[in-house]
């Protein structure tokens, strides 16, 4: 078993370490929420994690 955090956890850890404000929105990929149009705007491939800068609209 790996001790590496899941990809969905790495971003919040990094943001905490950098002391940057953030808001987490839970996406349940097991029930298809990652393929809904609202999420695909942020992450066209439906992958997690996705980061959206609310100040300028940049998404990664």
pTM greater than 0.75 (yes/no): no
Could you tell me the CATH number of the domain that includes residue 59?
3.40.30.10
Count up the domains in the chain and report the number: 1
Confidence at residue 54, expressed as pLDDT on a 0 to 100 scale: 85
Q: What is the pLDDT of residues 31-56, one digit of tens each?
A: 999 899 999 998 898 888 888 888 89
**Tokens read off for 46:** 């439906």
Domain with 6, as residue range(s), is 1-60
Residue 27 has pLDDT above 80, yes or no: yes
Instruction: Yes or no: say if 48 and 34 are a contact pair by the CB < 8 Å rule.
Output: yes
Residue 14 has pLDDT above 90, yes or no: yes
Residue 3 has pLDDT above 60, yes or no: no
For the chain, report the end-to-end CA distance as a whole number of angstroms. 29
């Amino acid at each position: 078993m790996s001790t590496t955090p899941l990809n969905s956890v790495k971003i919040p850890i990094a943001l905490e370490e950098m002391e940057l404000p953030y808001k987490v929105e839970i996406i349940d990929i097991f029930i298809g929420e990652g393929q809904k149009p609202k999420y695909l705007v942020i992450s066209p491939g439906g992958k997690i994690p996705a980061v959206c800068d609310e100040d300028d609209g940049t998404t990664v």
